A and B are shown apart, each in its own frame.
Chain A
């Protein structure tokens, strides 16, 4: 079996930064990523955009350009970069299995850095399964990687900075949204104000946000605040978004409807390996427990970037470098003094990035109707399990998500619970009057993504089972 000093999963800012740091010390690094190009989701297709679409590259701004620098560093490095690789198992003894070009292979690593980023929080509202309803992240990816914008102006609905960023990007791309439907309660601004003094340490982010709001206001994009009761209407596809606003019901026609309620750590890998996780009540999600060097509770498993808790692309980069320094140290490639000296400015920069999070978490707290949807709303999209059936399973004695899964098949479809896991945990917690921390989450088992049976069968030839 192939082996390496460090295997990194994910070529976003955290993975790229860690790869450069560790490869720079002479250690061997294998970088596995599902996409054909480096950058992760935040810098999706950044090399292509920079090279071929200067106008778009320009309006994405300096934040996006930072991704080009990271990608360039990768291209000039000794990192063994394997794009198009889908990791489907990581064992606690640090053997990875991944699928590439229709074949699965094993890789033994001395250290594994999980940099698998974030997922959009599920947004279970009536009609969210209709064609035309997509996440804000999906629409950003279409814009970055494929240069697509909605033909008919889209409705952008929900809460969070990404929602506003997409609106601004659509504006600059000549496709202004028809409306922003914000679910942030009107008193949230007042309630989150107590976090403002700390957030001022991250003043650049705040200014950026102010700039977006002004830009949208100048362009006259209708902005409905404090909306509730969101429902996508349509037959075979989305036709309109209906919602309550200022005591009245409104309906805005659109065939592209973007939903967003923030992003959450993608913890499939860290849960598979058995890392300890904590419930983050501010961000309403589980996150792996990490030390100051990004080490998880499983020896040799490290986590950097949004997969360890949502903090954004710059924080991901600093965490990737911190983890890289620590791993290089453990590999004997960096002495403790150098490690700590190089880490100091990273920690300062990281603290600045993190300063603004409590304000954002308080302001953009996910809407209650999304955390605990009404009985008739589909929660598990794959198996079409509604919130009501999850509640019924609790009444029949299912104490947690794993029993609900056995009972209802929620989480047993091809997405393997990625789009229903948090909602199922929240619903059961609410039904049982317990904290989500006590309810826990789906147990994750290999394969991490559906794997052709023949591909597993072919591994029999190699017979390289970790024992």
Chain B
């Protein structure tokens, strides 16, 4: 599977599919492509699951999804409930209700309106909780809460374990994963792509861009620049507490994601952001923002006020201006596909997006509506905000 490359004078590894990015989406795409009989190489600049995929809050959530994402999310949920069938590991998945708590009557009304709207669209997974139902599901929630919106058949999982399980299963199906192998540039060639990487050139017929926060550089090289913004959502974890909460909890009026793991620790996030170092590959916490997260958590669950925070962290994620991911074929280049910009809610979608990409790649029509996620939706805004067209080329893109 190698041929000499006259330009660089060394062997070029080849595969049917080259995947850029060893996060959950990259590993899932690789796994599903391999299941379809394709040979795959995944290149990852750090280690698999190093950024958002490995360190996110682990919510497996249909609740509160943008309307466009609901079909994907419902399909993904089906897979999550039997995730071991796909990757031979339960990924730490635990079924649990996802609940968004209302602290005021106004918030409660907004939640009820959303539930009604979803019902009109034919979705029944989100249900309104009155105050009694809320306290039955969340005995430890603060007395001031008035109700909530729940998706009872959701859950949570262990993000690093999940990403590692996808990777291992992909490797068992023959996928090669190259860690510490940054993609440096892509060249469109007759019948495929040449990817320049830190580990040497790779040739492939298909290119899949799952570069997360770094995916914009690949897109730009394909002539379709997109405004993907690197963000660093912050999280906290406490020491182990006795069990007091069996649901994953958010708040209607302020950023919060709150859950107690089986081991008793409580993981608290919600989207408040840390900063990203100048090098673009490491994060710092912003304590003032993190303090707000801690305050929200202790106001909604007073029981955690005396818990001890053992660790705070932030992983780097790519966000799109409309908070919807980019999923689907390139608008400029045959054989190139994208799945990135999940805007801090891509974990649950991981198992299904890879499957949809594999469908597209082998020429099957995916049974999920992907049109809202097409990359072309930003072409007008990019053109108007950046008269020069593509952003300046970068040497190191993923």
Contact = CB atoms under 8 A, between A and B. Distances in A.
Does chain A touch chain B in the assembled complex, meaning CB atoms less than 8 Å apart?
yes
Interface of A: 89, 91-92, 97, 274, 396-400, 403, 406-407, 409, 412-414, 416, 445-447, 450-454, 456-460, 462-467
B295 A457 contact: yes
Interface stretch (B141-149, B245-253, B283-291, B364-372): B283-291
Nearest to B160: A406
Given A406-B54, A453-B238, A466-B287, A414 B310 contact: yes
B308 A414 contact: yes
Contacts of A403: 47, 49, 54, 160, 164
A465 to B, nearest CB: 3
Nearest to A447: B309
Contact of A412 (B48, B54, B237, B289): B237
Contacts of B275: 467
Contacts of A400: 47
Given A407-B161, A414-B310, A446 B285 contact: yes
A460 B239 contact: no
A400 B180 CA distance: 13
B168 A396 contact: yes
Contacts of A456: 236, 287, 290-291, 294, 309
B284 to A, nearest CB: 7
Contacts of A97: 287
Interface string B158-189: 00110010011000000000010000000000
B292 interface: yes
Interface stretch (B10-18, B298-306, B326-334, B338-346): B298-306
A451 B284 CA distance: 18
B297 interface: yes
Contacts of A463: 288, 291
A453 B288 contact: no
B47 to A, nearest CB: 6
B48 A454 contact: no
22 contacts: A97-B287, A398-B164, A399-B179, A406-B54, A406-B160, A407-B164, A416-B311, A445-B312, A446-B312, A447-B312, A451-B309, A452-B306, A453-B306, A453-B308, A454-B298, A456-B290, A456-B294, A457-B305, A458-B291, A465-B288, A465-B291, A467-B286
B307 A453 contact: yes
Nearest to B240: A413
B291 A460 contact: yes
A397 B160 CA distance: 11
A403 B44 CA distance: 15
A63 B366 CA distance: 77
B312 A457 contact: no
Contacts of A399: 47, 179
B287 A412 contact: no
B48 A397 contact: yes
B313 interface: yes
B307 A409 contact: no
A467 B54 CA distance: 25
Q: Kindly list the 8 A-B residue pairs having the minimum CB-CB distance in the complex, ordered from nearest.
A: A465-B288, A406-B160, A450-B308, A460-B291, A457-B295, A459-B291, A457-B294, A456-B294
Nearest to A92: B284
B164 to A, nearest CB: 6
Contacts of B311: 412, 416, 445, 447
A450 B237 CA distance: 10
Contacts of B307: 452-453
B381 interface: no
Contacts of B385: none
B285 A397 contact: no
A413 B310 contact: yes
A457 B310 contact: no
Nearest to A456: B294
Contact of B310 (A89, A396, A416, A460): A416
Interface residues of B, number: 42
B263 interface: yes
Nearest to B161: A407
A132 B312 CA distance: 33
B305 A453 contact: yes
B92 to A, nearest CB: 10
A457 B286 contact: no
Q: Most A CB atoms within 10 A — which of B168, B282, B288?
A: B288
Contacts of B312: 445-447
A406 B55 CA distance: 8
Given A453-B307, A463-B291, 17 more contacts: A396-B168, A397-B167, A406-B49, A416-B310, A416-B311, A453-B238, A454-B298, A454-B305, A456-B236, A457-B291, A457-B295, A460-B288, A464-B287, A465-B287, A465-B289, A466-B286, A466-B287
Nearest to B309: A451
Q: Most B CB atoms within 10 A — which of A91, A446, A457?
A: A457
B313 A445 contact: yes
B289 A457 contact: no
A413 B239 CA distance: 7
B47 A457 contact: no
A177 B297 CA distance: 51
A399 B47 CA distance: 8
A277 B263 CA distance: 33
B267 to A, nearest CB: 11
Nearest to B288: A465
A437 to B, nearest CB: 15
Given A406-B161, A446-B285, A456-B291, A397 B168 contact: yes
Nearest to B167: A397
Contacts of A89: 285, 287
Contacts of B298: 453-454, 457
A412 B264 CA distance: 12
Contacts of A92: 284
Contact of B292 (A407, A453, A460, A467): A460
B308 A451 contact: yes
Given A407-B160, A414-B308, A456-B294, A464 B47 contact: no
Contacts of A406: 49, 54-55, 160-161
Nearest to B297: A453
A452 B238 CA distance: 9
A464 B161 CA distance: 36
A399 B306 CA distance: 35
Nearest to A464: B288
Interface string B379-390: 000000000000
A456 B287 CA distance: 8
B330 to A, nearest CB: 31
A465 B287 CA distance: 5
Contacts of B289: 465
Contacts of A465: 286-289, 291
A400 B160 CA distance: 13
A460 B284 CA distance: 17
A459 B309 CA distance: 14
B20 to A, nearest CB: 20
A382 to B, nearest CB: 9
Contacts of B49: 403, 406
Contacts of A454: 294, 298, 305-306
B26 to A, nearest CB: 15
B214 to A, nearest CB: 19
Contacts of A445: 285, 311-313
A181 B285 CA distance: 46
Contacts of A462: 288
B287 A414 contact: no
A258 to B, nearest CB: 28
Contacts of B290: 456
A412 B235 CA distance: 14
Interface string B37-54: 000000000011100001
A413 B238 CA distance: 9
Contacts of B160: 403, 406-407
